[in-house]
Amino acid sequence: MIELIRVSKTYHIPAAPRPRGRNLAGMLAGLERLFEPETEKRIVVNDVTLKVHEGELLALLGGSGSGKTTTLKMINRLIEPDGDGQGKILIGGQDISHISKRDAVELRRKIGYVIQSSGLFPHMTVAANIAVVPRLLGLKQWSEARIKERIDELLKLVKLEPTDFRDREPEKLSGGQKQRVRFARALAAEPKIVLLDEPFGALDPETREGLQKDFRAICKAEKLTAVMVTHDMTEALLMADKIAVMQDGKVLDQGTPRQMRASDNETVRRFIDSPRHQAERVEALLGGTLHGDFR
């Protein structure tokens, strides 16, 4: 289980320079700022509480700058949460909020991580890319024979024939095939948790739909607990057991898709209803009843 309790993240960024006068007072003020540079606080995640039970897929939904990716990266400690003593991040009941850098690296090796694009090593074959984390974990946990066996298991799981794809390099793969390899690599060390940052966003509609179905089936087969960042409400509704809608660093509401449709928050209801409105406009367009700027 993954649990975030009142987690926040604040960045301190340099303040915009103030105009300096040419008199003595202005020059002294400028010198003071050199020794004590001013900063402004930017709160990107604000008092977020979430709970993802074992085997669930939670979709973090929101527009750009809502804090969803920062929240995701705090779960595997790619980003460290604020150290104010209030917030906690629990994984399997263990507080990982402020573990050491070395322990954070070990944590990330136990959590699958899939991003939208890139991430594959271009000078490595598909098999070598998938084997990265098991080899980092060492022979005590993963023998070479077991790694080879696992590579073929995963290629079959993501619907890539091992004999055809094992020795290919990433540049010889289509976009959808590359993403299937990224999924395989994320699952290589048999993690129980997978984090996904807009994993289907760069794919064409047909490939995206197929991968979404396949990944959902993989989650059920492997009993994975997953958190997925997306800005696509249709994707969230089709894939997630629970949805959390974020805006300006806060969670506006969270729950099952059905619960979210009955949310008291108007912004959340607009998010939830957007796929239906789009479908109605497409249907009207195809039926010839949609005209003018409404299209």
16 vs 229: which has the higher pLDDT: 229
pLDDT at 112: 94
- Average the pLDDT over 66-75 and give the result: 95
Q: How far apart are CA 218 and CA 187, in angstroms?
A: 10
- Average the pLDDT over 35-61 and give the result: 88
pLDDT at 16: 59
pLDDT band with cut points at 50, 70 and 90 for residue 269: confident
pLDDT at 117: 74
- Average the pLDDT over 51-58 and give the result: 96
Tell me: pLDDT of 180 over 60.
yes
Containing H/E element for 255?
strand 250-255
- Average the pLDDT over 229-240 and give the result: 90
Cβ-contact 162, 149 below 8 angstroms: no
Tell me: pLDDT of 288 over 70.
no
Containing H/E element for 106?
helix 101-109
Pairing of strands 88-91, 94-95: antiparallel
pLDDT, tens digit, for every residue of 30-45? 555 555 556 778 899 9
pLDDT, tens digit, for every residue of 111-159? 999 987 777 899 999 999 999 999 998 888 899 999 999 999 999 999 9
Tell me: pLDDT of 295 over 50.
no
Q: How far apart are CA 219 and CA 244, in angstroms?
A: 19
- Among 14, 18, 195, 188, smallest CA distance to 91 is for 195
- Average the pLDDT over 237-245 and give the result: 94
Tell me: pLDDT of 84 over 90.
no
C-beta atoms surrounding 19 within 10 Å: 5
Cβ-contact 1, 52 below 8 angstroms: yes
C-beta atoms surrounding 216 within 10 Å: 15
At residue 173's C-alpha, the angle toward residues 177 and 148, to 5°, is: 70
Tell me: pLDDT of 202 over 90.
no
Tell me: pLDDT of 99 over 70.
yes
pLDDT at 21: 54
267 vs 73: which has the higher pLDDT: 73
End-to-end CA distance of the chain: 44
At residue 269's C-alpha, the angle toward residues 268 and 274, to 5°, is: 100
